[in-house]
Chain A
């Protein structure tokens, strides 16, 4: 019974304290690129969540079989397989979303969050824990993307989830749905999280290189990280 709060905390961990986007600042490319609309943010987040849960489960199952020296390529194959499956599902059932997300669906393969969780969590923990970790991290990613997408869509095009809110009375600030707006909103969101957590959130530095799949090969890891 006393395992229960532990399992819950694994999941909640990814939602708030170690939110992959807003606290650990991983997976920045899709975060900025697809969040021109709230719906795209949710779609991207859920697609990545599915891949993350499945790859975490499989890598956790295979952790004793995969030799340590070739683990990264093995993880990549597992992740790429699930990305292809998700891509097929999107093409079949949500072709519009698939078109909107474009190249960023296949690019889930190289999303640092997924490879990072495989390296940091799934290859050390049990299957159930890994699945919960994947779910938590994935939902944390989804929430962050949805918040960003909502802010950018409401201010940038005056609508939310495709529903016009301003009744076309106000000209929306379309710069927010363009490239500069993406960087700007993301920067402000991280600053807000910094302000709110005030050191209670995990410092990125203490995580940085331990979570990075390239740490072993990276010269900067020895010098104290890339940031």
Chain B
């Protein structure tokens, strides 16, 4: 149990996917302007990450590795994720229109979100078993949610301030992200402190 908590905590705080691993920076900068869209996007990402891990982990272990075609990983994973996103969208549209209305708009954007492909590849590279891989994906998604929610608050503050002309828009956003990343560096020893090295 402690091992599993450790994986989740590590993925949410210590190896935060946006601020430490630099995965999914495009949506982090693009969609974090409003709190509700930030939450919607992050929930959709978490959901797709978990599903993608459920789909890609067995493919790697039972299809690619035994046949010695592990090098097809990149092509197969991105196609599986793209197909999965389409499928989820169709199912949501048919059976859960309310959920589709709130999450659906973010789904097509997720196909090209590097965090999803990145976490699937990392799960394999780090040699996780199925359950830890799944927990790692969910944790990464939650970490994304945390970063997005905090950052949408920061950005609303930025909106009301007088910023030098050259820094308006993307530059000031990146510098704010830099300060936030600095704060997240403070978590780097936390896991060993709680769970023992």
Chain A interface residues (CB < 8 Å from chain B): 25-26, 28-30, 32-33, 72-73, 76-77, 80-81, 83-84, 87-88, 102-103, 106-107, 109-112, 115, 175, 178-184, 186-188, 190-192, 194-195, 204, 213-214, 217-220, 226-227
List of A residues within 8 angstroms of B166 by Cβ: 191-192, 194-195
**Bound complex: CA of A227 vs CA of B28, how far in Å?**
11
Docked-complex contact A180 and B185, CB < 8 angstroms: yes
Contact between A218 and B105 (Cβ–Cβ < 8 Å)? yes
Asked if B122 is at the interface of the complex by the 8 Å CB criterion, the answer is yes
Is B175 close to A, CB under 8 A?
yes
Query: Which chain A residue has the least Cβ–Cβ distance from B21?
Result: A33
CB atoms of B178 and A73 under 8 A apart: no
Interface residues on B, range: 35 or more
- The 7 closest A-B CB pairs, nearest first, are A187-B174, A217-B108, A183-B178, A33-B22, A191-B171, A184-B178, A226-B30
Binding site of A, secondary structure by majority: helix, strand, loop or mixed? Answer: helix
A26 CA to B118 CA, complexed, in Å? 17
What residues on A are CB-neighbors of B175 within 8 Å? Answer: 183-184, 187-188
Q: Which residue of A lies closest to B27 (CB)?
A: A226
Contact A80 B74 (CB under 8 A): yes
Given contacts A29-B26, A109-B117, A218-B105, contact A187 B171 (CB under 8 A): yes
Complex Cα distance, B167 from A110, in Å, reads: 28
Q: Give every chain B residue within 8 A of A213 (Cβ-Cβ).
A: 112
Question: Complex Cα distance A88/B105, Å?
Answer: 36
A103 to B109, Cβ gap below 8 A?
Answer: no
